[in-house]
Structure 1
Amino acid sequence: MPDLLLLHGALGAASTLQPLQQLLKSDFTVHTLNFQGHGGNTLPDKPFRIEQFAEDVLRYLDQHQLQRVDIFGYSMGGYVALYLALQHPDRVGSIFTLATKFAWSPDTAAKEVKMLQPDKVQEKVPAFAAILAARHQPTDWQEVMRYTADMMLHLGNDPLLTEETLSRIQLPVRVSVGDRDNMVSLQETTWAYQQLPNASLQVFPHTHHPLERVDLNQLQHQIRQFFGKPIV
C-alpha cells in the first residue's frame, strides 16, 4: 500500500489525527508523528520553528526508510509539508493541505497570538486547557502555547511561503479550506493556490477550522481521490 504521512497542526499532536488515520488505513500505510515539543515530546532548547519541524519529518522518513512520501497536512502541518517540499522535493510526492494559514504578517501574527495566552485560556476555556494538558503531558501545555506564540510572531516577520517560494514547488498540491473557517480565509488559500504551479483548490462546505469539527468522511473521500484511491 502507498505510504501517507499525516501532519498535525499547531498545539496538536499525532493523536488528533487518529480518527482520520483509522478511516484511511485500509488503502494506505498511514504514518503520523509528533513534532518536537508536542504530544509529550520534550520541549527543545531552542524556539519552535517551521524549519525544525521539517527536520522532524525528514528524521522520521529516514528512520522508517521512506525515500518519498505523500503528505496530508492540517493547518500548520500543511505549512511544514510545503516548506519540506521546497527544501527537499525528492522526499515528497504530493501534498494535500487543509486549513493552512498562508497570510503571515506582523499584524496577522499579533492577532493570532492574542488567542495564545495560557492564563486567559485557563480562565475562559478551562475545558480546552484540560484537553491540551492531556494531549501534551508530561510537557507543560502552557509552555507549548508560549513556544507556539513565539513561532507565529517570527513567521509574521519572516514568512517562509511567499509568492516566490511557492512558485518553485512543482509537485501536485491540493490546498483546501472550510467555508466557515474563522482563522484561515478563502482569499489567502486562493492566493496560495494561484502561486503554486501544479495545484488545485477545494472549499469544504459547512466546515470550521478545528479538525474536531471537520466531516472526516468527506475529508477522507477527497484525500483518497487526490492520492489516487477513489472510493468505488
Structure 2
Amino acid sequence: MAAVAVHSAVLGDGRPTLPYAETGRPGGVPLLLVHGYLDSWWTFEPLLRLLPPGLHAYAPTQRGHGDADKPADGYLPEDFAEDLIAFMDRVGIERAVLVGGSSGGVQARLVAGRRPDRVAGLVLLGVPATLADKPKSAELWETVKELRDPVDPAAAAALVDGMTATPMGRGFLQTVVDESLKAPAHVWRETLRGLLETDLGATLTGILVPTLVVWGDQDPLLTREDQQAILDAIPDSRLAVYEGVGHVAYWEAPDRVLRDLTAFLADRTPGPAARG
C-alpha cells in the first residue's frame, strides 16, 4: 500500500493554511483530490492507500474543514475554487487532473471551467448537477440552519447514514463523523448556504477538458437524470455507472475508481506536470 504523508500549505495573502495528504512518486501524473461538504483529506484515504504507480496525488483539506484554518467567512463555491488555485501555486502543480468527490466536484468544475490551463482532466465522483431540485438538500438545510456549537454528533452521524449501499467498517465511519465535527456550526451553515444559493448549473458551463463522471446506481441523493445533465453540459464527457454502489464510490469501490481513472488517463493521454 502507498505511504501517505501529511503536510501543511500556507497559502498566504489572507488565505487559510490547509493541511494536505500526499502520496505517489515525484514526476507522476498530478491528481488533485477535492473533498465534499464537511469532509477532509481523510475521506480519500482508501484511494490514497491504493494509488498505483505513475500517479502523484494531493488531497487538501479545504478551509473551515478538518484541521484547516477556519475563517469567519469565505464559504461560497468560488472561494473554495480560488483556494484550490492558490494551493496548486503553493505546492508547485502546474496542471493536474482534478478529482471531485460529492459537492467537492462543484469547486473542481469551477476551476476546470475558469482555468483550463491548469486542468488536464476532470473526474466527478457522485457530484450533483444541481441541488435546487433535491428534497434532501432542503431537509438538510432545515437542520443545519439551526445548528450551534458544539455541533451535535448525531447530526454528523446522520450525514453518513445510508450513503453507501454496502456496509462500511464502523471505525472508518466513526473517523468520517469525527472529521466532520471539526467544522464549527458556521462552516456547516455557510458552506451549505453557498451550495444552495449558487446556480450550480452555471458551474457546468465552459468546461472543455476531458471529463469522467462516476455514479453509483444505488445513490440515495443523485439520479441518472441528474448525471445526464452533467454529460449534456460537458462536450467531452463520459459516464461510468457502478451497479450496487451508493453515493460515495471512493469509499465502497476505491479499487474500481482507480482502475477507471487510470484507463481515463490512458485514453486521454493528458500531460500535467508538477513544477520543481
1:118–1:70 Cα change, 3 Å: same
1:140 and 1:170, CA in 2 relative to 1: closer, same or farther beyond 3 A? closer
Q: Which moved more, 1:195-204 or 1:98-107?
A: 98-107
Q: Secondary structure of 2:88's match?
A: helix
For the pair 1:18 / 2:62, whether they are aligned, the reply is no
Aligned residue in 2 for 1:191: 229
Identity of aligned residues (%): 24
**C-alpha displacement at 1:149, in angstroms?**
2.7
- 2:236 maps to a residue whose letter is N
Q: How does 1:88-99 map to 2 (within 5 A)?
A: 88-99=115-126
1:68-113 CA-to-partner distances (Å, cap 9, x unmatched) read 1111111112111111111111110101111101123276542442
**Aligned letter for 1:148?**
T
C-alpha distance in 1 between matches for 2:226 and 2:154: 32
User: What residue is the counterpart of 1:202 in the other structure?
Assistant: 240
AA paired with 2:179?
R
1:207 to partner: Cα distance: 0.7
Tell me how far apart the structure 2 counterparts of residues 9 and 126 of structure 1 sit (CA, whole Å).
16
Identify the range of structure 1 (218-227 vs 23-32) with the bigger mean alpha-carbon deviation.
Answer: 23-32
The 1:142/1:222 distance shift into structure 2, 3 A limit, reads: same
CA distance in 2, matches of 1:190, 1:126: 30
Q: 2:46 & 2:262 partners in 1: Cα distance?
A: 15
Q: Hey, what does 1:220 align to over in structure 2? A: 258
Residue by residue over 1:24-55, the C-alpha shift from the partner in whole angstroms, topping out at 9 and shown as x without a partner, is: 15220111101101121122221411101111
Give 2:195's aligned amino acid. M
Residues 1:70 and 2:97 aligned together: yes
User: What's 1:30 paired with?
Assistant: 57
- Comparing 203-212 with 112-121, greater Cα deviation is found at 112-121
Shift of 1:141: 4.2
Distance 1:215 1:95 in 2: 19
Q: What CA distance in whole angstroms lies between the structure 2 residues aligned with 1:112 and 1:61?
A: 32
Q: Larger % of helix: which?
A: 1
Instruction: Report how far residue 210 of structure 1 moved.
Output: 3.4
Structure 1 runs not aligned, ≥5 long: none
1:122 aligned residue (149, 153, 159): 153
Amino acid at match of 1:202: A
Residue 70 of structure 2 aligns to a residue whose secondary structure is coil
Structural RMSD (CA):
2.8
Alignment correspondent of 1:149? 192
Question: Judging changes above 3 Å, is the alpha-carbon distance between structure 1 residues 204 and 6 closer, same or farther for their aligned structure 2 residues?
Answer: same
> For residues 152 and 128 of structure 2, what CA distance do their matches in structure 1 show?
22
Q: Could you tell which deviates more after superposition, 126-135 or 98-107?
A: 126-135
Q: Distance in 2 between matches of 1:211 and 1:58?
A: 26
**8 Å contact 1:113–1:152 — kept in the other structure?**
no
1:151, CA displacement in angstroms?
2.1
**Offset at 1:134?**
3.1
CA–CA separation in structure 2 for the residues paired with 1:37 and 1:124 = 17
Task: Please give the TM-score of this superposition, normalised by the length of structure 2.
Answer: 0.71
Amino acid at match of 2:59: T
Structure 2 distance, partners of 1:217, 1:106, is 32
Task: Work out the number of aligned pairs and report it.
Answer: 224
Q: 1:21 to 1:65 in 2, by over 3 A?
A: same
Number of the residue aligned with 1:134: 178
The two structures have a TM-score, normalised by structure 1, of: 0.84
